[in-house]
Structure 1
Amino acid sequence: MGQMKTVNPATEELIDTYELMSLEDAKAVVDRCHKAFGEWRKVSLEDRAKVIKAIGAKLREKKGELADLMSREMGKVRAQGDGEIDLCAGICDFTAENGPSELAGEERPLESGSRGLVQYAPIGVVYGIQPWNFPCYQVVRYAIANLMAGNGVLLKHAESCTGSGLALEKLFREAGLPEHLFSVLLIDHDTSDEIIAYEKVRGVTLTGSPGAGSHVAEKAGAALKKTVLELGSNDAYIVLEDADLDRAVKQCVTGRIYNNGETCVAAKRFIVVDAVYDKFRDAFVEAMGALKAGDPFDDDSDLGPMVTGKQRDQLHEQVEKSVANGARILCGGEKPSGKGYYYPATVLENVEPGQPAYDDELFGPVASLIRAKDADDAFRIANDSRFGLGGGVFSADAEKAIALAKEDFDTGMVFINGFGLAAPNIPFGGVKDSGYGREHGGFGMKEFVNIKGIQVMAE
């Protein structure tokens, strides 16, 4: 059937190999998950919450092991792995504490004087297709919400972090989740398309590129199955004239290079008003140029390697195309030789439409600097994108920034005076080519449920 393999991006050494499942074997996994769902759906919300809480505790217990594995499989700076697992455990805690009330349903009076009931009923098996950049978080984000809702959950993880997916499957079971209710599928893309169409799969959620999202949505739509898509972006961080520039520079650097720059909701385009552009640029370039790329297990490494040589080559090609079309490199921009898929922190200036640095997502530690005339021009540039996941605003007047975020930013999320990723109690998701649907904040628990209306006509 073929094999999958995981490779350490810092050393280019093989970590492990895994046998691909046949379509028949994959469907058998779905069948077992569906059978487990049949029992889980009858478990009370309170008892489901206890299992979710136990998963969070087990994540904290295994934090070091999981963080080490993530660094080996995708090159994440080791200390950031601890933070990822802390976030995963926090998601479990929030879901366990709020799930029973979020999913309890409600009663609504009818005009006739009879009773109306609203129930959030689980729908069945939800199939998740997830990327490599946050090997644990991407899985926990959709899996925990759907398990709380009473669904069964399948995972097709990225090949490069197969070990992380299997480790989570084992951990969930050790925490008390019924066997087969959360199952990993080791399958290729063709088999994945068949699983989407399989009758015992009721919903599909994907985190990935817009191309992957379009493909999966088409396959699921043909089978009349709901999807949730969290796709890429080229998030704009706007620096206004009254911003605290020291804070803005520090937060923008962090926002660009966190997780080796391989984050869908990373800060990517830095749109600075003319009045403070030169001062911001000089400080930003100095800070980016001082960053050190190295072994993710070394405490003094600011950047680990990119996940694969292919990803690095693609990023470098985007830089070269941008330069060929008028962009200027202020620091970085050279692909190093030697072992490991490293790429330096890079800043591009003179970024304009028609360049990948302006139009596309640069999934790595490359920042695009754009000069705006004023605040109105800055928001025009920020929204001049086919993407709309997140973004940021820096201003000394937080209330003004909030108003601008509410009215003028065409994105699913906005961060004021700082860089942020995700919070368990705040919705996560985007608009336009960044996808649709929401996770976190209770919203994800209701994406794949049957919102059932019951009218009691007489008692």
Structure 2
Amino acid sequence: MIPTANLPEAVIRTAAEAAAVWRRTPVHDRTAVLLRAAQIYGTRSEDLARTMAQEMGKPISQGREEIRSCIRILEYTANEADALLRGDTIASEPGSSARVALLPTGVVLGIMPWNYPHYQLIRLIAPNLLLGNGVLFKHARLCGSSALAVAEIFAAAGAPAGLVADSQFTHAQTGSAISHPAITGVSFTGGDTAGAAIARAAGGAVKKVVLELGGNDPVIVFDESRVDELARTLATARLSNAGQTCVSPKRIIVRADIMPQFVTRFSAQFLAATPGDPLLEETVLGPLATAGAGQSLREILRSAVANGIDVRGDSAELERTGRNFSPQLIVNPPRNHAVWTEELFGPVAILHSAVDVSEAISLANDSVYGLGATVYTSNVVEGERFLAELECGMISLNGPKGGSPAFPFGGVKRSGFGRELGSLGIREFANQQLIVEHHNARTDVSSGSSGRNSYGRSSSGRSSSAAPPDHMPH
């Protein structure tokens, strides 16, 4: 259960008042704020990337790329405003029209993690500001300076005071905020245990919640013509952000006949990486966010070694302490050990062979998580089967999913529910309001005219076969 505590009412009241003004702000003025925020992100990119390196260890070159992703999201959301805000037209009976309009609901509370201090927030903020909502967020304690920078950027871009704000809630105050009447929805990104607690709290308060939780993403390599290329590409991807990415290629499933070649090529690149200073341009692998994260990983790996599992890499790493963590490779682990079942949030890669498509699907789906998956195969029939049977919210065939702001992000199973970004993401915290308009003029019965009025009732009072418009089943 999430504890509760007295809230600083001023921050919520200010956000609610700002959202009440913002919902009446013309769309072109909302998009102007998003575009100005993108410009400010561009001018502050170096400073923001440096702060991330200092706060949570992201290599500065990767921090710049995170800021570029934020800019792309803001620009896309502003430039595609008409399409994103367009509702649905629904077929209706003659004489009437029906549509669904996307309307704001109020203030969304975002509870965010540390691994992508800006990107995680922008993918919540951008669509909700376009829609007309406000966003109050609680960021991870590690990222206090980054959180402050986000609020400053939107204030400088012209958003009403308090519309986008760092709440600085404590853990206990977050529980109270979820039930506060001014909060109309909750978005949480983090671990599945905490996500379940957030969902229970939101459900008890009858609030919409979106959960983006853990991932143990599989990558299936069945294309024998690309072994060397894919080994290098996936090694680089697994090292990105020190492996602290929910959609990182954590379990790489390789067809058995090409497994030896893949292991050799992958190991040569992956295990050669060494932790470095995140402020240096040449650093590829930065430190973990916390020393505690390193300790947890080492405990799992020590257990794997004790159980005879094939763990490759610098064995001395398992006896070290601290945030720096050298890469570790695990080959063909049993499916009942934590190295397979848990999300390893660090530079640890799992390689597992599969004799055929059926075994590869069984391995890939053998997880409580279902966030993303990637498949490489030159066989069209194999590809179609993988697409049909893999249990995940996002899948890519023969290439990376990419980071397009138009692509909805989210998973199934214990990876959560709901979507962020794109046409699906903007609907999560929208009032998808049904509007039915009747176009036939109603006959004034008091005038004595005969015939039927628009409600299907004769002027004599006898009912026709048509039901009145308010006779709707529930």
TM value normalised by structure 1 = 0.91
Residue 428 of structure 1 is aligned with which of 391, 398, 409?
A: 409
Residues 14-163 of structure 1 mapped to structure 2, 5 A cutoff = 23-25=6-8, 27-163=9-145
Structure 1 unmatched runs, 5+: 1-21
Instruction: Calculate percent identity across the aligned residue pairs.
Output: 36
Q: Which residue of 1 aligns with 2:426?
A: 445
Give the distance between the partners of 1:271 and 1:282, measured in 2 at CA: 15
Deviations 1:17-64 (A, max 9, x none): xxxxx8342x22011100000010011222211211111111111111
Letter in 2 for 1:455: V
Residues 417 and 378 (structure 1 numbering): CA distance in 2 closer, same or farther, change over 3 Å? Answer: same
Residues 236 and 332 (structure 1 numbering): CA distance in 2 closer, same or farther, change over 3 Å? Answer: farther
Structure 2 counterpart SS, 1:120: strand
Letter in 1 for 2:196: S
Give the distance between the partners of 1:324 and 1:365, measured in 2 at CA: 20
Give the distance between the partners of 2:315 and 2:175, measured in 1 at CA: 38
**Residue pair 1:46, 1:100 contacting (<8 A) in 2 also:** no
Give the distance between the partners of 1:101 and 1:373, measured in 2 at CA: 45
Deviations 1:363-406 (A, max 9, x none): 00001111211122111100111101111112235x55652442
Structure 2 counterpart SS, 1:456: strand
**Residue pair 2:250, 2:348 contacting (<8 A) in 1 also:** yes
Q: CA deviation at 1:190?
A: 1.1
Residue 271 of structure 2 is aligned with which of 281, 289, 300?
A: 289
Structure 2 counterpart SS, 1:60: helix
Whose Rg is larger?
2
**Residue pair 1:233, 1:389 contacting (<8 A) in 2 also:** yes
**Residue pair 2:377, 2:383 contacting (<8 A) in 1 also:** no
Q: Which residue of 2 aligns with 1:245?
A: 227
Give the distance between the partners of 2:238 and 2:399, measured in 1 at CA: 12
- Is 1:314 the equivalent of 2:314? no
Residues 32-431 of structure 1 mapped to structure 2, 5 A cutoff = 32-335=14-317, 341-397=323-379, 399-400=380-381, 402-420=383-401, 422-431=403-412
Q: CA deviation at 1:246?
A: 1.2
Letter in 2 for 1:236: P
Letter in 2 for 1:320: R
Structure 2 counterpart SS, 1:370: strand
Letter in 1 for 2:358: D
Residues 102 and 402 (structure 1 numbering): CA distance in 2 closer, same or farther, change over 3 Å? Answer: farther
Give the distance between the partners of 2:331 and 2:258, measured in 1 at CA: 15
Deviations 1:191-234 (A, max 9, x none): 11000011110100001000111010000000111110100111
Q: CA deviation at 1:420?
A: 4.6
Structure 1 counterpart SS, 2:276: coil
Residues 434 and 226 (structure 1 numbering): CA distance in 2 closer, same or farther, change over 3 Å? Answer: same
**Residue pair 1:77, 1:302 contacting (<8 A) in 2 also:** yes
**Residue pair 1:229, 1:437 contacting (<8 A) in 2 also:** yes
Q: CA deviation at 1:113?
A: 1.9
Q: CA deviation at 1:454?
A: 1.4
Deviations 1:86-145 (A, max 9, x none): 000000011001123221335445213212232111001100000000000001011111
Give the distance between the partners of 1:31 and 1:212, measured in 2 at CA: 26
Give the distance between the partners of 1:420 and 1:345, measured in 2 at CA: 24
Residues 294 and 411 (structure 1 numbering): CA distance in 2 closer, same or farther, change over 3 Å? Answer: same
Give the distance between the partners of 1:393 and 1:200, measured in 2 at CA: 44
Structure 2 counterpart SS, 1:170: helix
Structure 2 unmatched runs, 5+: 442-474
Q: CA deviation at 1:325?
A: 3.1
Give the distance between the partners of 1:79 and 1:300, measured in 2 at CA: 8
Give the distance between the partners of 2:320 and 2:229, measured in 1 at CA: 35
Letter in 2 for 1:382: A
Give the distance between the partners of 1:89 and 1:262, measured in 2 at CA: 22
Residues 322 and 375 (structure 1 numbering): CA distance in 2 closer, same or farther, change over 3 Å? Answer: same
Give the distance between the partners of 2:338 and 2:29, measured in 1 at CA: 50
- Is 1:456 the equivalent of 2:464? no
**Residue pair 2:236, 2:270 contacting (<8 A) in 1 also:** no
**Residue pair 1:196, 1:204 contacting (<8 A) in 2 also:** yes
The CA RMSD measured in Å over matched residues stands at 1.9
Q: CA deviation at 1:172?
A: 0.9
Give the distance between the partners of 2:316 and 2:199, measured in 1 at CA: 37
